Amino acid sequence: MKLGFLTACLPQLPLDEIAAWAASHDYQALEVATWPSTGSRDFEASHIDVTDFGKRQADEVRALFERHGLTLSALAYYENNLHPDTTRRSEIAAHVRANVDAAALLGVDYVGTFIGRHPGLSVKENIALAERELPPLVEYAGERGVRIIIENCVMEGWHPDGYPGNLAYSPELWEWMFGLGLYLNYDPSHLLWLGIDPVAALRPYVDRIPHAQAKDAQLDPRARDRYGFFGRTVERADGWDSGWWRYRVPGLGDVDWRRIVDTLYEGGFTGVLSVEHEDPVWSGDTARTTQGLEIAHRTLRPLIVG
């Protein structure tokens, strides 16, 4: 197992600076963000432009990682593959394929994304839609030696009422998506606030988890007593404002990282555990964000052998 982090938390920095910082702070891997660059860098990260990527660019990226002794664990493009606008859905699928092409050139095994959801359809209708839309992407990736990994983020902000916007949030849905040839990019933080035991959910599926993310969650049960499980309604500022829980860097929330890492080891996991930094306390500028990554490192690195 290696410890890395997802570069999306540092959208303002170029990849070479992130790699240098990671290596100098004893991180071993990077999960690299590849959203299309539209100029809105506060809300997205584009550390590899997969739309203009050939052998020269692949050689440059490989040389960068070799120079710093880092592993490139996955390309990361987490978007709604069931977007209700069919034109936008096609654009997203095209960018997933571009990520697959770049991963194949780089010798990277994984591309991360979401299932997503059409918010105007029922779950049953969304499952039928996914069974039409996703197998061609799985086949495209497989032909190039790449696997598509799905993060189990709820993406409640994608739904107008704060309901799940990514149909990969529970073990029941994991089993369904495994049947489509997809793999899981396991993140315990989402399970915690859903009321699912992250360790119990993890244990049976380690062999379908080639890559994992490390994000924590801090719960406030007293606030839940006011708002209920689904969070704020009248007082909700935006789709992401539940009011009773928030994401934290590992070590500052309620996830039991000793049990998580031990369960991964027990199940034979040999991949990368990638910190996904979305902590509202340790963010806002580069210095504070990197301090958050240092906190995560102090929490997780002692648990990883080697």
Express each pLDDT in 225-254 by its tens digit: 999 999 998 988 888 999 999 999 999 999
pTM comes to: 0.96
Count the domains in the chain: 1
Distance, CA of 161 to CA of 42 (rounded, Å): 25
Q: Which residues pair with 184 in a beta bridge?
A: 150
Tokens of 294: 């240092």
Length of the chain: 306
Mean pLDDT computed over every residue of the chain? 96
Q: Is residue 160's pLDDT more than 90?
A: no
Q: What percent of the chain has pLDDT over 90?
A: 92
Domain containing 53 equals: 2-303
User: Does residue 281 carry a pLDDT above 50?
Assistant: yes
pLDDT tens-digit readout, 38-92: 644 345 799 999 999 999 999 999 999 999 999 999 999 999 999 999 999 999 9
pLDDT of residue 239: 83
pLDDT surpassing 90 at residue 266: yes
Classify 155 in phi/psi space as left (phi over 0), alpha (psi -120 to 50) or beta. left
> What CATH number has the domain bearing residue 121?
3.20.20.150
Average pLDDT over residues 181-197: 98
User: Which of 17-31, 57-71, 100-114, 158-172 shows the lowest per-residue confidence on average (mean pLDDT)?
Assistant: 158-172
Distance of CA 47 to the CA centre of its chain: 15
Q: What is the pLDDT of residues 200-223, one digit of tens each?
A: 999 999 999 999 999 999 999 999
Q: CA nearest 152: which of 59, 100, 217?
A: 217
* Mean pLDDT of the region 265-276: 98
Q: What pLDDT score was predicted for residue 38?
A: 65
Asked if the model's pLDDT at residue 134 lies above 60, the reply is: yes
Query: Of 88-92, 95-99, 233-237, 258-262, which range is least confident?
Result: 233-237
| Partners of 5 in the β-ladder | 30, 275
pLDDT of residue 71: 98
Predicted local confidence at residue 42, as pLDDT? 42
The mean pLDDT value for 268-273 works out to: 98
Residue 104 tokens, joined: 């194949």
